[in-house]
Amino acid sequence: MPHLAYLSLGSNIGDREQNLRVAIERLQKIGHVHAVSSYYETEPVDVTDQAWFVNCAVALETPATPAELMTQLLEIEHAMGRKRVHKKGPRTIDIDILLFGDVVLDTPEVTIPHPAMHQRRFVLVPVAEIAPGLMHPVLKKTIESLRRELPEGQMVKKFKED
């Protein structure tokens, strides 16, 4: 039975916009892409001494389990040249599972909902664009209400093509 997963994609190395496009094309090979948000340019969080990111959110219908989907996403990242040199450092592509239906899961391989999604403007703004009424299964709040509750900071602006 298919599940609807919400993913966060980000890139801050190379042609960031093209990296997102390639990742979305590859996602279409492992499931059905229901929606893609606008692209947003976002300042880095945690490790701030790096280039700004371009981020988006994707709603993906998948027959995979959460663990299988995580494996598929890691394979896409690897195929696109992702090197895990520094935690939260620069990357060609980063794909995170934010939500997976109503699943709540905490294993060594994957944690759903993503444990920091409710604190990250670069995640909530794009997801709120495509699914504002989506409910966080643990916090029992909509994505839009979580976005509105964020403190000031974390610059996120629609990405404009050159």
The residues carrying an active-site annotation are: 82, 91, 94, 96
Cα torsion angle, 84, 55, 108, 1, sign: negative
Comparing C-alpha atoms, which of 102, 124, 114 is closest to residue 3?
A: 102
Q: Residue 103: how many CA atoms within 13 Å on its side-chain side?
A: 21
Nearest in space to 29 (alpha carbons), one of 75, 86, 65: 75
* Cβ pair 30, 85 in contact under 8 A: no
CA distance 70 to 148: 29
Structure tokens at 9: 């994609």
